[in-house]
Amino acid sequence: MSAPTSVAVAAAAPLSVAEARQRIASAVAGHGPKACEVVDLMAALGRVLAEEVLAPQDVPPHDNSAMDGFAFAGQALVAGQATRLRVVGRALAGHPFAGSVAPGDCVRIMTGAMMPAGTDTVVPFERCEQQDDVVFIAPETVRAGDNRRRRGEDLAVGAVALPAGRRLRPADLGLAASLGLSRLSVRRRLVVALFSSGDELRSPGEALAPGCLYDSNRFMLAATLTQLGCEVLDLGRVPDDPQALDAVLRQAIERADAVVTSGGVSVGDADHTRAVLARHGAVDFWSVAMRPGRPFAFGRLERPDRAPCWFFALPGNPVAALVSFQVLAREALLALAGAEGDAVPPLAARCAEPIRKRPGRAEFARVRLSLGPDGHAQAQAWGGQSSAALSALVGAHGLAMLQPQQGDVGIGDWMDVLPFEGLC
Ligand code: AMP
Ligand code: MG
């Protein structure tokens, strides 16, 4: 192992989570690649919309029936009297009735079929009676205009259907399709270099020498980045050696918009990551008052004539790595990718079992969610809270965000929970 490297940044008191998030957010604001590409709708899930989508036509494109029934002119309805209509034809979805419907006549119509000319009201089959070609409607069964979906009721032509910066979800793709769009203009994917550092790390499939363990972070973080919509540049695992770190960092600087690393960011004899990062740019801060976590370095790597490459150096302990990523790096990477308005508020849940908490730092407890006896969500600390215990993370539904100033959490206390599902 090589000699410890001196760190080129002043040791500072840990930042609060709020301050760290704020510093990262303002540093990356307005940065990120602006290049766009056009993709097929089927390949657009999770991509960030480059420009707003305006409705090129009304949705639905024509008035249509919301029910299976009979379409007629509502003027035939008279208060307190039964209505009698003559059936003159049939309309199905995709097969409009060609003619015009005279007052007192009606057309047998199916859901989604275009409202025939002369009609504005539908009486559902189950709310009327038919004998041969005559339909009877009891008094006060329907009002004029009932069960008709208006043209443009979902979206009127020219309305903003999807805003720029939208990270596309399944419903967005459905909406785009309903507008007749087969392709969308999206931002190019953010390229994020990823490597793990540590002499002790081995890749799954390799034999473990004494004192070694498998590199779990890289697989977990690559998957998380992929779910975020990033293109992952996997740079493998790197030994605790400043020269090797320097070489891999140069590759990241050359090829990526951001770099995510884990391990070697603390103050141990083998922790060289910060010093090597500082050679290529500026380490903004490297310690955050949170648990799990604390060692976490953020900053920029400079490169001539190009936007900086941002780095997020996570702690090595797997739970600490993932929690730090979700709490500190996730939103910044989304912002760099051009995504806007993506934040979902945390879920309020009652504490189901006391949680020990030391004031002075934010804590992120791994919790399982269930429905409490009062009908509200409740959260229970799950598995060991060790920053190395991935099994607890696997069983948990989310992170209870315990505020820095707060102490122990009692049964029934409200907590903010960040569910894992919905983070991406
Ligand atoms: P470090 O942050 O380098 O001091 O590492 C803290 C702990 O996390 C040590 O026990 C490491 O062995 C472990 N660790 C570091 N990197 C990884 C990794 N990629 N996968 C699994 N464990 C790791
Ligand atoms: Mg290490």
Q: What is the mean pLDDT of residues 164-191?
A: 97
Q: Cα of 151 to ligand 2 centre, how many Å?
A: 62
Q: Cα of 252 to ligand 2 centre, how many Å?
A: 20
HEC secondary structure over the chain? CCCCCCCCCCCCCCECHHHHHHHHHHHHCCCCCCCEEEEEHHHCCCCEECCCEECCCCECCCCEECCCEEEECHHHCCCCCCEEEEEEEEEECCECCCCECCCCEEEEECCCCECCECCCEEEEHHHCEEECCEEEECCCCCCCCCCEECCCCCECCCCEEECCCCECCHHHHHHHHHCCCCEEEEECCCEEEEEEECCCEECCCCCCCCCCEECCHHHHHHHHHHHHCCEEEEEEEECCCHHHHHHHHHHHHHHCCEEEEECCCCCCCCCCHHHHHHHHEEEEEEEECEECCCEEEEEEECCCCCCCEEEEEECCCHHHHHHHHHHHHHHHHHHHCCCCCCCCCCEEEEECCCECCCCCCEEEEEEEEEECCCCCEEEEECCCCCCCCHHHHHHCCEEEEECCCCCCECCCCEEEEEECCCCC
Token pair in block for residue 357: 């908490």
The pairing of beta strand 377-381 with beta strand 414-419: unpaired
Q: Which atom of ligand 1 is nearest to the CA of 265?
A: 2
Residue indicated by tokens 């030994």: 239
Q: Is the CB of 260 under 6 A from ligand 1?
A: no
Residue 123 pLDDT more than 90?
yes
- pLDDT recorded at residue 5: 44
In a 13 Å sphere around the CA of 209, the CA atoms on its Cβ side amount to 4
Q: Which atom of ligand 1 is nearest to the CA of 197?
A: 16
Q: What is the mean pLDDT of residues 323-351?
A: 93
Q: Cα of 293 to ligand 2 centre, how many Å?
A: 14
Considering every ligand atom, which ligand is closest to the CA of 324? 1
Q: What is the mean pLDDT of residues 189-209?
A: 97
Q: Is the CB of 318 under 6 A from ligand 1?
A: yes
Report the percent of the chain where pLDDT is more than 70. 96
Q: Is the CB of 264 under 6 A from ligand 1?
A: yes
Nearest CA-CA partner of 288 in 26, 6, 10, 21? 21
Ligand 1 mutation target, pool 206, 212, 213, most atoms within 8 A of CB: 213
The residues pairing with 167 across neighbouring beta strands, listed in sequence order, are 48
Token pair in block for residue 260: 């995510």
Q: What are phi and psi of 219, to 5 degrees?
A: -70, -40
Q: Is the CB of 273 under 6 A from ligand 1?
A: no
Residue 352 pLDDT more than 70?
yes
Q: Which atom of ligand 1 is nearest to the CA of 218?
A: 19
Q: Cα of 263 to ligand 1 centre, how many Å?
A: 5
Residue 424 pLDDT more than 50?
no
Ligand 1 mutation target, pool 218, 238, 262, most atoms within 8 A of CB: 262
Q: Is the CB of 263 under 6 A from ligand 1?
A: yes
Q: Are 93 and 66 in contact (CB under 8 A)?
A: no
Q: What is the mean pLDDT of residues 264-291?
A: 94
Q: Cα of 24 to ligand 2 centre, how many Å?
A: 24
Query: What does pTM read for this prediction?
Result: 0.90
Mean residue pLDDT of the chain comes to 94
Q: Cα of 266 to ligand 1 centre, how many Å?
A: 11
- Residues with Cβ within 8 Å of 120's Cβ and at least 6 positions away in sequence, in order, are 63, 73, 74, 144, 145, 148
- pLDDT recorded at residue 389: 85
- pLDDT recorded at residue 135: 98
Q: Is the CB of 216 under 6 A from ligand 1?
A: yes
Per-residue pLDDT of 229-271, as tens digits, reads: 999 999 999 999 999 999 999 999 999 999 999 999 988 999 9
Residue type, 309: C
Q: What is the CA radius of gyration of the chain?
A: 30
Q: Cα of 72 to ligand 2 centre, how many Å?
A: 76
Residue nearest to atom 5 of ligand 1 (CA): 316
- Residues with Cβ within 8 Å of 68's Cβ and at least 6 positions away in sequence, in order, are 109, 110, 111, 124, 125
Residue indicated by tokens 């890289």: 218
Report the percent of the chain where pLDDT is more than 90. 89
- pLDDT recorded at residue 8: 44
Q: Is the CB of 363 under 6 A from ligand 1?
A: no
Q: Is the CB of 387 under 6 A from ligand 1?
A: no
Q: Which of 182-186, 293-297, 366-370, 420-424 has the lowest mean pLDDT?
A: 420-424
Confidence of residue 9 (pLDDT cuts 50, 70, 90): very low
Q: Is the CB of 163 under 6 A from ligand 1?
A: no
- pLDDT recorded at residue 342: 75
Q: Is the CB of 217 under 6 A from ligand 1?
A: yes
Q: Which atom of ligand 1 is nearest to the CA of 200?
A: 12
Q: Which atom of ligand 1 is nearest to the CA of 317?
A: 8
Q: Which residues of 109-122 are buried (b: 16+ CB within 10 A; e: fewer)?
A: bbbbbbbbebbbbb
Q: Is the CB of 152 under 6 A from ligand 1?
A: no
Q: Is the CB of 268 under 6 A from ligand 1?
A: yes
Q: Cα of 408 to ligand 2 centre, how many Å?
A: 31
- pLDDT recorded at residue 10: 43
Residue 4 pLDDT more than 60?
no
Token pair in block for residue 274: 């910060």
Q: Cα of 102 to ligand 2 centre, how many Å?
A: 83
Residue 152 pLDDT more than 60?
yes
Quote the distance between the C-alpha of residue 76 and its chain's center.
51
